[in-house]
Amino acid sequence: MRYAFALAAALAATTALGEEAPVNITPEMWSVTVETRSGPVEIRRAQDPQNKLEGDWARTSRPCPEFCIQPNQPAPGVTTIGELELLDLLQDPEVIVVDSRTPDWYAGGTIPGAVNIPYTEAVDRLGELGCEIDFDGWNCEEAQPVALFCNGLWCGQSPAAIRRMIEAGFPAERIHYYRGGMQTWRLLGLTVAGGES
């Protein structure tokens, strides 16, 4: 019985050709295709089992302040999500996924389908998220659902954008926060659009 179990496990870990099993997103999901401004992009994980983070993405410690570990929930009412939830949102045409990093970081690579609205411009650009300007500021009754991210658990750009958006009238319950950001996205070997992968 033990031999049969070990044989089944070994077979499951290899393909018919004796190669390593593919690096899926989940056991049932190989990839996800999302629509972007430049056409469809397939998001999948890097297939090289030796793939490692390098450069800035491999750094574990940055001075705090400025690079402090962010809370799991940046503001009351905001939903914090992981990669699988973000993949679902990327496929929903009603949701806008926002890379809230500064343009230089965005140019170095982003999550496919994300639009760049730097955290410093988030309130000024609420019109792009379904809000309308009125005499008192912004009317966000018709705001689209959004998901914001930045560089990772130590990055305060998207939490700052989220808090400013809420203060300006954007409904917290329509905001998703991908706390893992680009560092976790890259750590999992997921597809990066633009810049250096």
Residue with the larger pLDDT of the pair 184 and 15: 184
Q: How many residues does the chain have?
A: 197
Q: What is the pLDDT of residues 116-168, one digit of tens each?
A: 999 999 999 999 999 999 888 999 999 999 999 999 999 999 999 999 999 99
Q: CATH number of 24-187: 3.20.20.70, 3.40.250.10, 1.10.10.10, 2.40.70.10? A: 3.40.250.10
Burial class (CB in 10 A: 0-12, 13-18, 19+), 26: exposed
Asked if 154 contacts 68 with a C-beta cutoff of 8 angstroms, the reply is yes
pTM for this predicted structure: 0.86
